[in-house]
Structure 1
């Protein structure tokens, strides 16, 4: 027969009371924090899940900071390129105005002065800060303004290429200034027409490609002879004579040369010559404006010279404007991409937070119910302990 001593009964009741008190305290802590897992020991598996979710959320936050930096940069870049294109559009209007042969030298000089001011504004835009101790067009790095107005030409002293944020997205935080401002295609983008000699009234247009498969990439010279008013021309390819020799000249009629069409207008003199060379990516915004300013500042030009200058300067302006427009379009595409990345990161953030919540957060309805049950159990244990206390032999004898 097992005997239960008074001490054993007290200890058992006290242990039960303490256990229920601890359980209530833990439930109260959970209700206060709103978390089911406050320490790893509460639920090691759930704690590990929450830790992984927390790490995933932190990575998303880091990625989002990089994306936000890229968005800020690309927004500033897109706006800056818009400002530059507005200025170049004004420059184009001035060049069209300057093509009027009826203008005098002083009027053309005034136009050149305004163009010089536009050039200065464009240089300021090219050196615009990104607001974070960097430059929008500094490429992969530039500790100082990336463009310097050196004697002879504006030079790019940044590092070529684009600086990008860390991570898999590779979003840019600086644009390649050299490629943007100094590397438009010369001519019409495929070939470039040039004046070699012009003493008559002839001018040559920009030209166009009529048969891409026939292009050779060679250099061509168009040489004119005017004998008693009868004008003929010959075409040399890389300095060698071709089948096009002593061809009768018709003003304003396109000449078809190996997939290219160029039109010469006016009356060439003997010895007048034009050249066709392959296009290259060497056309600078600033060189274009410098040449235009120089042309407009040169006095005593003949009408055909003014017309030819206008043709070439408009061609060059269109090319550099096209390059900046392409760069601006690229910035817009990147901004759209950033919106998509932001949406995806937002979804990843929600997923990580949901996983973390599922792992450690408390079901408040269930927790309140459990707490009430444990409180009832504690009250019952307290009553039981109180009854056991009154069952001692001394109390019995005293009674």
Structure 2
């Protein structure tokens, strides 16, 4: 077989270029620290790396969501703690104002502080997270949820409890809505409530005790037929119960108990109905209004006493609601701590696996480079000797 001079040169050149390409690829690996820099380096490994990178990125999202949720919940927990402190202070003021030793001017001073506490509660309801979002506004996190106008506090948020993915198929609420925390608190005993008629002239003050929820539209009227006698009629004017009355008696009927203290006058009435929703803001506002109003008659003093007793009962339910929400927040924070450890561990394992597939063994690569450079040098020297051979040298 004849070997032409062109073929000889081409084969030698191809060998040198191939060795240069191998050396350049090894040098690139050493400079980047990665064994796989492009899919052509190792197609199977490149596909595996791409899959692992997606998993690592997803774990990063989970960890970031956990941190964001933890920050918002920690802010909410602080706000709830502050709200509970205000509720306890309002209770102290209500008890103080109920004392007969506090005059009208003293009650007006108490009312002034109550108004200040009301403003503080509104400010707590408008608390922001570290990202500047309103934590009690639900999905309307860019809008202040609470606004006061003429003593009436309205809610501009919604009832959507936002949730973030903190793991594969696992979500967690990053807060609680303001209407659930501050607005939707049932009065009375939480099931039924009792309210005196505006036209009452006696000194009777009512407190609802036992009672199960009433169906919508169901109500009862406790009517005093005399100073020492009463009857109970339903919404259809049917008599349900009747009997004698003495100060402090518990009037029981159909599983409901209402304690009436004082001395109601003949014709005085108390209406028993399903518990209504009342906000903590309305509770404080009513209490302040009761202390601001003059109490210079038996009827006005009785009305003030009723308002104080109603407020004290409602403050108990407000505090219970805040404790309930705080317990939920604490539980979620505890769960987040456990989930965060798990997700961090998973991300570390994935990153380690990616490193094993993609990263370079520097010792092996350095040794291989030395071998490739030696081979390249040998190829160059061989080519120099071969290309110098000619038949004319032997003639």
Match of 1:205 in 2: 207
Shift of residue 32, structure 1, vs aligned partner: 2.0
Give me the TM-score of the superposition, normalised by structure 2.
0.85
Shift of residue 291, structure 1, vs aligned partner: 0.6
Is residue 2:236 matched to residue 1:234? Answer: no
Deviations 1:152-172 (A, max 9, x none): 621112333234447965544
In structure 2, list runs of 5 or more residues that go unmatched: none
Aligned residues of 1:255 and 1:262 also touching (Cα < 8 A): yes
For 1:287-302, list aligned pairs within 5 A: 287-301=282-296, 302=298
Deviates more, 1:94-103 or 1:217-226: 217-226
Deviations 1:326-375 (A, max 9, x none): 33333333333433443343244334423432332223343334334434
Q: In 2 relative to 1, CA 382–355 (structure 1 residues): closer, same or farther, beyond 3 Å?
A: same
Match of 1:370 in 2: 368
Q: In 2 relative to 1, CA 158–22 (structure 1 residues): closer, same or farther, beyond 3 Å?
A: same
Aligned residues of 1:142 and 1:159 also touching (Cα < 8 A): no
Q: In 2 relative to 1, CA 243–121 (structure 1 residues): closer, same or farther, beyond 3 Å?
A: closer
CA RMSD of aligned residues (A): 3.1
Provide the rounded CA distance (Å) in 1 between the counterparts of 2:75 and 2:360: 45
Q: In 2 relative to 1, CA 202–126 (structure 1 residues): closer, same or farther, beyond 3 Å?
A: same
Shift of residue 86, structure 1, vs aligned partner: 1.1
Provide the rounded CA distance (Å) in 2 between the counterparts of 1:85 and 1:395: 107
Aligned residues of 1:215 and 1:260 also touching (Cα < 8 A): no
Match of 2:186 in 1: 185
Choose from 277, 281, 297 the match for 1:286: 281
Deviates more, 1:61-70 or 1:32-41: 61-70
Match of 1:113 in 2: 112
Is residue 2:266 matched to residue 1:270? Answer: yes
Deviations 1:158-199 (A, max 9, x none): 333234447965544564222322111111111112222643
Provide the rounded CA distance (Å) in 2 between the counterparts of 1:61 and 1:162: 23
Is residue 2:261 matched to residue 1:260? Answer: no
Deviates more, 1:321-330 or 1:9-18: 9-18
Match of 2:161 in 1: 162
Provide the rounded CA distance (Å) in 2 between the counterparts of 1:187 and 1:134: 34
Aligned residues of 2:129 and 2:135 also touching (Cα < 8 A): yes
Shift of residue 262, structure 1, vs aligned partner: 2.5
Aligned residues of 1:37 and 1:43 also touching (Cα < 8 A): yes
For 1:1-399, list aligned pairs within 5 A: 12-141=11-140, 144-151=143-150, 153-165=152-164, 169-172=170-173, 175-196=176-197, 198-209=200-211, 212=212, 218-226=218-226, 231-245=228-242, 247-280=243-276, 282-301=277-296, 302=298, 304-382=302-380, 384-385=382-383, 388=386
Deviates more, 1:310-319 or 1:65-74: 65-74
Q: In 2 relative to 1, CA 54–356 (structure 1 residues): closer, same or farther, beyond 3 Å?
A: same
SS in structure 2 opposite 1:208? coil
Provide the rounded CA distance (Å) in 2 between the counterparts of 1:28 and 1:395: 41
Provide the rounded CA distance (Å) in 2 between the counterparts of 1:257 and 1:140: 44
Deviations 1:56-98 (A, max 9, x none): 3233334444443333322222211221111111111111111
Provide the rounded CA distance (Å) in 2 between the counterparts of 1:360 and 1:189: 63
Provide the rounded CA distance (Å) in 1 between the counterparts of 2:239 and 2:367: 100
In structure 1, list runs of 5 or more residues that go unmatched: none
Deviations 1:212-233 (A, max 9, x none): 5x96673222222336xxx122
